[in-house]
Structure 1
Amino acid sequence: MRDPYTVLGVSKTASADDIKKAYRRLAKKLHPDQNRSDPKAQDKFAEINQAYEILGDEKKRPQFDRGEIDAEGKPRGFEGFHPGAGARRGAGQGGGPGGAQYYEYEFGGAGGARPGAGFDPSDLFGDIFGGGRRGGGQAFRRGEDINAVVTVSLPDAVQGGQVRVSLPTGRMLDVKIPAGIDAGQQIRLKGQGGPAPFGGTAGDILLTVQIAPHPLFKLHGRDIRLELPLTLYEAVLGGKVEAPTLTGAVEINVPPYTNSGRTMRLRGKGLPENGGKPAGDLLVVIKIVLPEKADTELENLMRKLQAEKPYKPRNGLL
């Protein structure tokens, strides 16, 4: 273990506040969660913790300065020293070279602090990494949850799929989208959020789902709406007409004399059941479309209808 003053980059005359500031700065810089590509990050982080255990403790620091303990906080052996109050004989006393006696110094009572009863550097992690619980030399705290938005296509919302998400942390993840997901629903990615200080559990990522607009289909709650164009003769005569859905084309029966705006409901063709929410429907809204080019025969037919069989669809409006 190197000299703790060297490890923290402070002088032997540094104040307690200067030592604390130096430790905080290095803890942020060298924390393993911030240096995952460095195989020695854990060792570096342990070294600054050990150094601060010595220099950050008002009793251990003077003991180190007087040479009573080493850089790891272990008592040094003293030749010719006899145990008194605050010291106890080690298992190998009297067995040292030249008849020297070795003692394990017990830091307790007024003379110092036993391991675990002195300064606990984990107390500072609440300030450095946003809080934690004290006790037992640990500051285990759950990392922060991160909120993000993921935009999925309407077909993926209906059938399920996988999308690549760019996270606020800069990472890219492939996220599975369950079939039938709603706009505004959240997907929780456990352990993918903010790192936890001092070995705690990482936070989660909460992805709020947005569903991208579709050129044909519009989402209304869990129902999907489609405008279906019909020719004039299909609307008048009726019959079977092919209509698209997000899971493939289907045939629908159009009754004779179907007007524009009439809505036909295809059960279960909207968002599928998900999380106890029932499946939605496909709402097919009829839209009558005339030929794009002028047609003299059609015009003559309409004039004959106008003259011989007029009708008034706007009755009651004016």
Structure 2
Amino acid sequence: MMNSDPYKILGLTKTATQDEIKKAYRKLVKDLHPDLHPDDAAKQERFKAVSAAYGLLSDPEKRRRFDAGEIDASGQERPERQYYHQYADREDGHRYDPRTGSGTGMGEDDLGGIFSQFFGRGTGGQGRGGFRQEMYARGQDLRYHLEVDFLDAARGTKRRVTMPDGNDIDITIPPGLKDGQTLRLRGKGAPGFGQGKPGDALVTVAVRPHPVFSLSGDDIEMELPITFDEAVLGVKVNVPTVSGSVSVTIPEGASSGQRLRLRGKGIKGSRGKVGDQIVRLKIVLPKHIDGDLKDLARRWRDKAGFDPRAELRRMT
């Protein structure tokens, strides 16, 4: 039988920090994801358990309530905190208190108030001499952690994921989604109790780093290597962007660290405005410097008398 303790499921103790919880979850879902084990029912069950455990412990308030014994590992109230529904349909209007073993009379107003507090009020009705109350409660929100590639987050994409309850849902990743943002999918959580509405699915997205692009606000940044002669003479080169390559002019006399701005080639921000792409130039020399290049450099140095650090000395 699978352990129901969320800490043990994630291989942690109750003293674990939120960062440790996140790291443990990410490591486990990478190993257990159903896409990697389509025919392994045991690992699929473990994946569901890991996702449910993270959904509980990643929420500080739910974690506090679980540690205090107020809710169980599924996020539901402990039985002693929901005993009222055990006698909701008693037709004599009396209740049995499982904590004391005694019965006490309750009026219709009292019982109706209790159900309004704990479950919400549905349609009321009378039994054979007692109060009957329809109960309902909203379903639990389900949490899921989804990793996406940098380009998918920048361009937007669709993904199908398996939620902690085992159901598959289709998720639309909007263009410009950033690392750590959470998507709320209305009504895709756990079913409600009675006539209660279902909960929501809360999908927190982690964006994998890209080897070329990085994000700064709504701007995309990248470093572009150029050769010595391209920096001196200028050149047109193709530069990659998230929407395809574009032709960019490198001006004559370009220096390493110089920044070129490509308007509208960033990502779409929350207010609908699209950022830019910042291209930082970097002059790169070949690993093997031949005699001709050395001779050229010596002749230029002897004639130019250029000191790039003169301004630096003046300022210091």
Asked if 1:292 is matched to 2:293, the reply is no
1:173 to partner: Cα distance? 2.5
The correspondence of residues 97-116 of structure 1 with structure 2, limited to 5 A, is none
Which structure's CA Rg is the greater one?
1
Q: 1:314 aligns with which of 264, 288, 309?
A: 309
Q: Secondary structure at the match of 2:281?
A: strand
Q: Pick one of 286, 300, 303 that aligns with 2:298.
A: 303
Match of 2:276 among 276, 281, 288: 281
* Aligned counterpart for 2:150 among listed residues 147, 154, 170: 154
- Deviations, residues 248-297 of structure 1 (Å, cap 9, x unaligned): 11110111000000010001101035x52310111011011101222110
* Contact preservation (8 Å) 2:175, 2:268: yes
Say whether the 8 Å CA contact 2:140–2:192 is kept in structure 1.
Answer: yes
Q: Which SS does the other structure have where 2:299 is aligned?
A: helix
In structure 1, what is the Cα distance between the partners aligned to 2:254 and 2:304? 18
Distance 2:280 2:268 in 1: 20
CA distance in 1, matches of 2:94, 2:214: 70
Aligned to 1:291, the other structure's residue is in SS state: coil
- What is aligned with 2:248? 252
Task: Find the counterpart in structure 1 of residue 212 from structure 2.
Answer: 216
Equivalent position of 2:31 in the other structure? none
Change in CA separation of 1:53 and 1:300 when aligned onto 2, cut-off 3 Å: closer
User: Equivalent residue of 1:317, what SS?
Assistant: helix
What secondary structure is seen at the aligned counterpart in 1 of 2:184? strand
**Change beyond 3 A, Cα 1:255–1:118:** closer
Q: Deviations over 1:114-149 (max 9, x none)?
A: xx96997996797xxxx3124622222222223333
| Counterpart position of 2:38 | none
Query: Aligned in 2, Cα 1:60/1:212: closer, same or farther, shift over 3 Å?
Result: closer
Residue 191 of structure 1 aligns to which amino acid in structure 2? G
Q: Which residue of 1 aligns with 2:41?
A: none
TM-score by length of 2: 0.59
Q: Secondary structure at the match of 1:260?
A: coil
Q: What does 1:54-69 align with in structure 2 at a 5 Å threshold?
A: 56-58=90-92
Corresponding residue to 1:174 among 170, 175, 181 = 170
Letter paired with 2:163: L
Return 299-308 or 172-181, whichever deviates more: 172-181
Distance 2:151 2:197 in 1: 35
Q: Match for 2:288: what amino acid?
A: K
2:119 corresponds, among 129, 132, 148, to: 132
Aligned residue number for residue 225 of structure 2:
229
Q: Please say if residues 161 and 179 of structure 1, whose CA atoms lie closer than 8 Å, have aligned partners that are also in contact.
A: yes
Q: Is the counterpart of residue 165 in structure 1 residue 161 in structure 2?
A: yes
Across the aligned residues of Structure 1 and Structure 2, the Cα RMSD in angstroms comes to: 3.3
SS in 1 for 2:137: coil
Instruction: Determine if contact 1:152/1:163 at 8 Å carries over to the other structure.
Output: no
TM-score of the pair, normalised by structure 1: 0.58
Aligned 8 A contact 2:112 2:121 in 1? no
Letter in 2 for 1:227: E
For residues 191 and 218 of structure 1, the distance between their equivalents in structure 2, rounded to whole angstroms, comes to 34
Amino acid of the residue matched to residue 133 of structure 1?
G
1:313 shift after superposition: 0.6
How does 1:260-279 map onto structure 2 within 5 Å? Answer: 260-272=256-268, 275-279=270-274
Aligned residue for 1:297, secondary structure, equals helix
Structure-2 separation of matches of 1:149 and 1:283: 30
Where structure 1 has 5 or more consecutive residues not aligned to the other structure, the ranges are 1-48, 62-112
For 1:5-16, what aligned pairs fall within 5 Å after superposition? none
Is contact 2:154–2:177 with CA below 8 Å preserved after alignment?
yes
Change (3 A) 1:310 1:147: same
Contact 1:182–1:222 under 8 Å retained in 2: no
Paired residue total: 212
Counterpart check, 1:194 vs 2:190: yes
